Chains A and B, each alone.
Chain A
């Protein structure tokens, strides 16, 4: 047995969006001399444009900070950044699992938020040492004492020695680094034991293949070794190992307790699954790191090229993007209204938005996106379990034994004032209450609920924000699939089913959804020369109906003065418009009408 090097500290920063995580990280980099004061891009850790703009982190970053402490010892501090959003809670959990400690950053005026809470709970689960830090104390609205109170009440953490800092002004940064050394335990592990390394992120580099971020728990990794992915048993030869300081720097070896990257000619990021354990082929560990999960897409949406003829462009973009992010999936599909496109699966709503934005921004593909839906598990009468990603693929009612829908564990943090309406919202959305926790001093409440993901994807988040005037914060993690009374609503126009508009919803809200859909269609379909019936049906049963009265008058009153050209051109223009319409039976529906329905 050879113990890990003692002067290493592995830590993350936990913070709500905009509470200053990235700014604090920038200060660490400057203070430790990893980056000069000048010429640095603020928020070094958020490398993608989207990350910077949205103030979120999508890919985990990591950086090695050499720091000489007040006791004149030089330490290696590994800052492992975590992705900062609900959709990536699994990824967050893997990043936290790679650490021994976490800095909890709370905004001195905003206080604790739901996202912070969820991550702190997770850090506790991994027995991390959590160091509370109150940031933005330079702001006039800062109220550090109140925030300390919140930390004690809500998180149940001793907050007397919470460090007061201003990352922006550079106040208290050294104190934080000293506290890390003093309070976060050094990593354990045995450098001589069989290799056991946790993958906590990976991405694709077009020259070197997958770049895999790892934390070594046992053993030593060297160039030329044959490593094995324990989930797939695939073996790769290590081409390069190193650390980020902040640029990629090769090292001769990485051993227990250390954090770094490994490159091993891996052509698909799908082979480097987050949470998987890397071991040595010749001398494998008997105990892979626990908690490995293959992430499944939970939210699906159709992506179509906005310009017809851009289908190949979109496919190429999706292929390239998937090299970097194996957590989304795509399969070709066709839609009456939109033509050829792809049904894509995402971890959650934000993940979906990020992918869409990257496609548009990095690959220049204009997109038309349909409203998202969740994945359903359908058990057929013959006992088969199907994953239904597109409502129109749901088997007929007679073949279905039951349908299960995904549930999440939701944490909502809000001012007491809005409690009544938010409770009603959660009930309305079929939530199952776990706990209501009142915060003594500040009239704040923490609600935890089991909620169907489908409701969140539909309109829960928007409603939460509007009911609480933006004061409620919300976080969730995937739980399980639960049997629910789900039904498929079909939309019929003069008796013809419009497959693109089918949706799956809970029976209790089916009437409401059907009515809303039919009303909206009524407003969007122009009147025709005959009556148009819009029906919404569950199976054969019609549950909502709207009628578009026939157009009775469309006549140009005056056609003289000799300007025949103008009238002809007007008719020609209308004809062009008609050509772009989609035909359902003999009903002409403008594409815009479809889009507006599909997008909501």
Chain B
């Protein structure tokens, strides 16, 4: 059963960067100077607007996590970040062990700022290291170099951050398995509490796609990428990290609360240009949850709020079928998989009966396994997870 008082998560989107990475298709723009004051003001206004109008009964809810993502949120002054946190806490109450994460680009944070962020309420840093080798940082078109990464990691620890996550990318143009192993070694040597390991994906409409089309970049072949993925699994698990999602590893007790919320269909409110929100309101009457998206253009976003207009552009009420699909493809991303009892409680039907042909087929193909009342991806299934999900669609 859904408890009304279940804690909610809050996301802030900061859509500005020093430079746009050629593989990135996120909602971000490279600008200088950035309209930090106006944007921060707009974020505050959006929270006020939301709590005043469409979501007025949310005020009593506890907050499980706050996440500043981007773009490059570390481009903002710690003061702006602190204002946002303050605003949230003035309207909601903090949950126990509330996680407050800021994404950091190694180029954009010095020790003083990190200190202020810590004081302002940030208790977790997610550092976009991507690689510890300059050659690959260059290949990725990143603005920072490896010394920036090493420095920021040291500073963060020095300042007192005790929950640090590192992002790494594999499958970078020209990267070999040995290069990747070197990055994994580096990452382990700095002892982060959490690691996210992403396979570089060439998205449509990015400069990388164009370069790929022209044959100007060569990615490691599929076999190598599969081995890279396996190597990370092997080395991190051996070092005592738990793989809890397709791309995420954590020391015991350090999973990312905020991201787990997405995968377990917890409610969240997103503020800022292009941010997404999800509430289960109406679960038992008109629908199976509501998702909406904000205006993506930061200037349009600012101007709408200053006119006291809604910034919501797309809103959808999920149907039961859609909610089931989401529960499956998000649930299976987690290594714990989907708890069959939870699924039945939530949707009033049993997963194995509903997919009585698909599940045995996937088990036979060694793509999923059923164990202890959970259905989860096998190692083979992880690598083919998008195909596995389609079987349930």
Contact = CB atoms under 8 A, between A and B. Distances in A.
Interface of A: 529-530, 551-565, 567-568, 571-572, 574-575, 578
Given A554-B383, A554-B386, A562 B201 contact: no
A571 to B, nearest CB: 6
B259 A571 contact: no
A557 B167 CA distance: 12
Contact of B330 (A529, A557, A558, A564): A564
B276 A552 contact: no
Interface of A is mostly: loop
Contacts of A554: 383-387
Nearest to B367: A529
Given A553-B225, A562-B268, A575-B390, A568 B383 contact: no
Given A557-B246, A562-B262, A567-B329, 11 more contacts: A551-B384, A552-B383, A553-B383, A554-B386, A556-B201, A557-B198, A557-B201, A560-B262, A561-B69, A563-B276, A574-B393
Nearest to B393: A575
Contacts of B325: 568, 571-572
Given A565-B291, A575-B390, A529 B276 contact: no
8 contacts: A529-B365, A552-B384, A553-B226, A555-B384, A556-B246, A562-B268, A571-B390, A575-B393
A529 B367 CA distance: 10
Contact of B222 (A553, A561, A565, A572): A553
A552 B225 CA distance: 10
A555 B233 CA distance: 15
Nearest to A570: B386
Contacts of B316: 565
Interface string B277-293: 11000000000000101
B300 to A, nearest CB: 18
Contact of B11 (A553, A562, A564, A568): A562
Nearest to A562: B276
A552 B393 contact: no
B387 A564 contact: no
Contact of B293 (A559, A563, A567): A563
Interface of B: 11, 26, 69, 198-201, 222-223, 225-226, 229, 246-247, 259, 262-263, 268, 270, 275-278, 291, 293, 314, 316, 322, 325-326, 329-330, 333, 365, 367, 382-387, 389-390, 393
B50 to A, nearest CB: 15
B262 A564 contact: yes
Contacts of B390: 571, 574-575, 578
Contact of A560 (B223, B259, B314): B259
Contact of B386 (A555, A558, A562, A568): A555
B73 to A, nearest CB: 13
A558 B275 contact: no
A107 to B, nearest CB: 46
A191 to B, nearest CB: 77
Contacts of B385: 554-556
A557 B247 contact: yes
A562 B261 CA distance: 9
A270 B375 CA distance: 68
Given A551-B384, A571-B393, A558 B247 contact: yes
B242 to A, nearest CB: 18
B276 A556 contact: no
Contact of A558 (B198, B270, B365, B393): B198
Given A555-B199, A563-B276, A564-B291, A529 B387 contact: yes
**Which of B198, B383, B385, B393: most chain A CB closer than 10 A?**
B393
Contacts of A529: 365, 367, 384, 387
A552 B223 contact: yes
Q: Which of A559, A562, A563 has the most CB of B within 10 A?
A: A562
Contacts of A560: 259, 262-263
A562 B270 contact: yes
Nearest to B276: A562
B330 A559 contact: yes
A551 B326 contact: no
Contact of A571 (B247, B329, B365): B329
The 7 closest A-B pairs by CB, nearest first: A562-B276, A575-B393, A557-B199, A557-B198, A554-B386, A553-B383, A555-B385
Nearest to A576: B393
B341 to A, nearest CB: 23
B276 A564 contact: yes
A529 B293 CA distance: 35
Nearest to A527: B222
A244 B150 CA distance: 95
A418 to B, nearest CB: 35
A552 B262 CA distance: 27
Nearest to B11: A562
A547 to B, nearest CB: 15
A579 to B, nearest CB: 10
A555 B382 contact: yes
Given A552-B383, A554-B383, A564 B225 contact: no
Nearest to B13: A561
Contacts of B262: 559-560, 562, 564
Q: Name, among B263, B382, B390, the residue most crowded by chain A CB atoms within 10 Å (CB to CB).
A: B390
B326 to A, nearest CB: 6
B32 to A, nearest CB: 24
B384 A568 contact: no
Given A529-B365, A568-B325, A556 B386 contact: yes
A2 B325 CA distance: 92
A558 B69 CA distance: 14
A7 B291 CA distance: 90
Contacts of B223: 552
Given A560-B262, A561-B26, A571-B393, A555 B246 contact: yes
Given A555-B199, A555-B382, A562 B329 contact: no
A529 B386 CA distance: 11
Contacts of A571: 325, 329, 386, 389-390, 393
Nearest to A555: B385
A552 B277 contact: no
B238 to A, nearest CB: 22
B231 to A, nearest CB: 14
A575 B392 CA distance: 10
B383 A555 contact: yes
A552 B387 contact: no
Given A557-B201, A561-B276, A562-B278, A572 B333 contact: no
Contacts of B393: 571-572, 574-575
A387 B226 CA distance: 54
Nearest to A530: B365
A572 B321 CA distance: 11
A568 B330 CA distance: 10
Contacts of A556: 201, 246, 385-386
Contact of A562 (B200, B277, B322): B277
Nearest to A575: B393
A565 B319 CA distance: 12
A575 B329 CA distance: 13
A559 B225 CA distance: 19
A561 B27 CA distance: 10
A572 to B, nearest CB: 6
Contacts of B200: 557
B276 A565 contact: yes
B384 A553 contact: yes
Contacts of B246: 555-557, 559
Nearest to B270: A562
Contacts of B198: 557-558
Nearest to B377: A555
Contacts of A557: 198-201, 246-247
Nearest to A586: B361
Contacts of A578: 390
Contacts of B247: 557-558
A359 to B, nearest CB: 37
